[in-house]
Structure 1
Amino acid sequence: MDWSELQSRIYHFAKKAFAELHDKCPNEEFYAFALYTDSSAMGIGPSANSIERLNEKIQSELEGEDETPENAAYYKWASSEWAYEAVGGEFFKGINKDLSESAERADFKAFKDKVLQAMTDALDDMVKERFFDSLCKKAGKAVVFVSMTDDDESENIENASARAINPQAIYEAFLGRYDVVNEPQERQDVR
């Protein structure tokens, strides 16, 4: 597999997916964008969430005793729970076919690492050109990362990619995403 070409394709289709999402939802305050794969690295999908959709999710899913800071943090940061999970996924069909059929899967650990690196590098290029600033009401505030669903290494992958992609202050805030305190939370505060 040509890994440089894969990164370029991921970059192109992620940009297209996120730009189309913004065009459909121009008034939403996006706080996070991600690319994710599963533990078999057979496909890639884009995901995003906004404060508005997060608040709706929390109100619809959490009631009474279930409305804990821990559960709210889960809905805020688990990309599989986001309103725009798999948004623009149709753009990745060719990439996903190539990944699932690649002969390089034989050395799976190396293959998976290269897929994650291509995803990280594509997002990093988008951050460096300030692409996400054009999609956010608060420029430079959204966190961007790579995730792996249904895998024990998800949090480590998210942290490593966030460190590589984001400015230091955003990365450090992201590291504390599951730290909760027993104080009332202000839902509009994304960090």
Structure 2
Amino acid sequence: MNFKELEQKIESATQKAFIEIFNTHKDEEIYGFSLYSDGGAMTVCPSTNTIDFLNNLDEEEKEELSYYKYEPAEWKYESVGAEEEFNNISTELRTELEKDDFKNEEKETFITFRNHLFKTCINVLNKLKKEAFFKNIVGKDIFLIFSVSDFEFENKELEKIVIELNDNDYKDEYLKWMKTW
């Protein structure tokens, strides 16, 4: 797989998704954006959350505010934005993974592929952060993260991702929350 080409596709889809979400939901005060994948490396999707969503959590959910604030699987706009582009990327990933080299998730070739995909997504978010893409649209820094369903990063790796993607108060709050796990 040509990961350089894939990175360009993910970057373009990310920009389109974020602009779509902002244009549709800017009044809800967007504070967080994520790219996420799955442990089988078959998908890449966006996820966005808003202050409005957090303000409307029920009392039980508010007791776990950090979880709803920082876990992209719980965010309001999961897999929303640039649907066609992200579907095409995911189809391309699944097609690549159907090759015999990747049939077993324990094989070194699969692990290398998965790790390269994850790093590619992180690189896209980091590049857009450095270009102030999100800040220029929203008007302030937002929380950025890369997340994976059915897979857990080691805490040190997750901490590294959060630090790399965030130069804001969200980073400090997230790292403080991590200490409660």
Band of TM-score, shorter chain: 0.7 to 0.9
Corresponding letter in the other structure for 1:152: E
Cα distance change of structure 1 residues 176 and 27 upon mapping to structure 2, 3 Å threshold: same
> What amino acid is aligned across from residue 159 of structure 2 in structure 1?
N
* Secondary structure of 2:146 counterpart: strand
Q: Runs (4+) of structure 1 moved beyond 6 Å?
A: none
Structure showing the higher helix proportion among its residues: 2
In 2: Cα distance, 1:154 partner to 1:53 partner = 29
Match of 1:115 in 2: 117
Q: Secondary structure at the match of 1:177?
A: helix
Q: 1:21 to 1:8 in 2, by over 3 A?
A: same
Note the alpha carbon deviations across 1:141-170, whole angstroms, 9 max, x for none.
x11110001223276554332222222765
Once the 2 structures are TM-superposed, how far is the Cα of residue 93 of structure 1 from its aligned partner? 1.3
Distance 1:118 1:85, change over 3 A: same
Percent identity, aligned pairs only? 28
- Tell me, yes or no, if structure 1 residue 96 matches structure 2 residue 90: yes
Is 2:129 aligned against 1:127?
yes
Alpha-carbon offset, residue 173 of structure 1: 3.3
Paired residue secondary structure (2:28): coil
Give 1:175 shift: 1.3
TM-score (norm 1): 0.80
72 and 168 in structure 1: CA distance in 2 versus 1, 3 angstrom threshold: closer
Q: Is the 8 A contact 2:70 2:174 kept in 1?
A: no
- C-alpha deviation, 1:176, in angstroms: 1.9
Q: Distance in 2 between matches of 1:97 and 1:175?
A: 34
CA displacement, residues 55-108 of structure 1 (integer Å, 9 cap, x when unaligned): 21x22xx44xx652xx22211111111101111233211110111121463511
Match in the other structure for 1:144: 144
RMSD: 2.2
| Other-structure match for 1:187 | none
Q: Secondary structure at the match of 1:27?
A: helix
Question: In the alignment, which residue of structure 2 is the partner of 1:29?
Answer: 29
**Counterparts of 1:168 and 1:114 in 2: how far apart (Å)?**
27
Contact 1:123 1:165 in 2 (8 A): yes
Deviations 1:10-30 (A, max 9, x none): 000011001000000122222
Pair 1:168–1:52, CA change in 2 (3 A): closer
Structure 1 residues not aligned, in runs of 5+: 181-191
Secondary structure of the structure 1 residue equivalent to 2:41: coil
SS in 2 for 1:176: helix
Q: Distance in 1 between matches of 2:29 and 2:155?
A: 24
Answer yes or no: is the 8 Å Cα contact 1:17–1:91 preserved in 2.
no
Distance in structure 1 (CA, Å) of the matches to 2:157 and 2:102: 19
Show the counterpart of 2:76: 83
TM-score by length of 2: 0.84
